[in-house]
A = this chain, B = another copy of it.
Amino acid sequence: MKYAVLGTGMVGHSLASKLIALGHEVRMGARNPNSKEASKWADENGSLAGHGEFSAVSAWAERVIFAVNGARILDVADAVTNQAVAGKTVIDVTNPLDMSRGMPPTLIPEMSNTTSAGEALQTRLPDAQVVKTLNTMNHEIMVNPGQVPGSHDVFVCGDHETAKNETIEMLGEFGWTEPVDLGPLAAARGTEGMMPFWLRMWSVAGNANFNYKIVRS
């Protein structure tokens, strides 16, 4: 499968490298076509790896992953263009965090509570098939659930069943055997809304090596 991973931070690196390890073709996307981070990653990850500008890698890919700063997600969507992702599964792993008020960050009001970053992305890219997932945990756990011992959960939601199934397939390759399907993309209001809790938990745990499990009878 051809994946574009948009974002050159830790999340983008973890996802892109895992997809390469799984045998996929991956291009890391950045605003700058000559991004040092993206070209360095591509150089280090063999013949299946490449990089390029947001819209170019998105147009090339079969599946597109948004792993950018959540506060910038709509700017990145504009750079990608609706045309480049029309009919494609777009996997959004971002959180709409406002880092400008100090620590811990808060949610961006325009992208939370009565809406979400996932829904805002879908509105900005109307012909994409947006699925929200993986945004409730540290990037290392995203691609290696075994890093946290025992059973714990990943959540998925979206309005397009085929795209959701493709995402669940990818999650399965990562090691997530039973993703919890929360239904429509609007459920991203719930999973993105867990980030303020996550940040508090991170603070008291002293590390990010934890995850949620929904315990039920």
Contact = CB atoms under 8 A, between A and B. Distances in A.
Interface in A131-181: 147-152, 157, 180-181
A43 B57 CA distance: 70
Report how many copies the assembly holds: 2
Contacts of A210: 214-217
Contacts of A201: 180, 182, 190, 214
B114 A113 contact: no
Contacts of A189: 106, 196, 200
A8 B38 CA distance: 59
A138 to B, nearest CB: 11
Given A182-B201, A210-B216, A214-B212, A101 B114 contact: yes
B209 A212 contact: no
A93 B89 CA distance: 40
A17 interface: no
A190 B197 CA distance: 4
A49 to B, nearest CB: 30
A193 B190 CA distance: 8
A213 B212 contact: yes
Nearest to A189: B196
Given A205-B216, A211-B216, 18 more contacts: A101-B114, A106-B113, A107-B113, A152-B213, A157-B200, A180-B204, A182-B204, A183-B204, A189-B196, A189-B200, A190-B197, A191-B197, A193-B193, A193-B197, A194-B194, A201-B214, A209-B216, A212-B214
8 contacts: A106-B113, A113-B113, A182-B200, A189-B196, A189-B200, A190-B197, A193-B197, A194-B194
Please provide the 7 A-B residue pairs with the shortest distance between their CB atoms, ordered closest to farther.
Answer: A190-B197, A210-B216, A190-B200, A152-B215, A213-B213, A190-B196, A187-B200
